[in-house]
Amino acid sequence: MRSIKYLVLHCTATPQNTTIESIKNYWKNTLGWKSPGYHFMIKADGEVVNTLPIEQISNGVAGYNTPSIHISYIGGVDQNEKPIDNRTDAQKASQIKLLKELRKKFPNAEIKGHRDFPKVNKACPSFDVKAWLKSINF
């Protein structure tokens, strides 16, 4: 098993009704990626879909993928494609549950947002991860 230093939260920066299949097709056909961008994607109804085994490396944050597990919720932008925290209550609950499960396996892993890494110039995951974690007493 890889040594995991980070549990990274993302948004897909798509409408909340975007299908996982269309996101995977974008990665493969538009970006030319061989592996998915995230290990887990969370649908608007809270369903968690494992898109890549955690033993494998995904394409979540350039330069930080080897020690990371990537988790994304579907959404993160408004109708004008501006960043917005539009997570549903179900998505938030699923994030918390998944993070707790992963912290049991990787107790020293730091939870960060994509935008919290050096040289990242994007709003992803469209919310302040540290403030959110404090607000839920995680």
For 5-57, how does the pLDDT look when each residue is reduced to its tens digit (9 = 90+)?
999 999 999 999 999 999 999 999 999 988 899 999 999 999 999 999 999 99
- The CATH number linked to 63 is 3.40.80.10
Say what the pTM is: 0.95
For 87-120, how does the pLDDT look when each residue is reduced to its tens digit (9 = 90+)?
999 999 999 999 999 999 999 999 999 999 999 9
SS3 7: strand
- For residue 117, is it within any domain? yes
Number of domains making up the chain: 1
- For residue 58, is it within any domain? yes
126: pLDDT confidence band, cut at 50, 70 and 90?
Answer: very high
| Burial of residue 80, with CB atoms counted within 10 A of its CB: 0-12 exposed, 13-18 middle, 19 or more buried | exposed
List the catalytic residue out of 28, 122, 130, 134: 122
* Owning domain of residue 50: 6-135
- Our answer to whether residue 130 is catalytic in this structure is no
d(C-alpha 121, C-alpha 115), whole Å: 7
How many of the other CB atoms lie within 10 Å of CB of 105? 12
Closest CA to 69 of 138, 130, 6: 6
- For residue 114, is it within any domain? yes
- Our answer to whether residue 11 is catalytic in this structure is no
End-to-end CA distance of the chain: 25
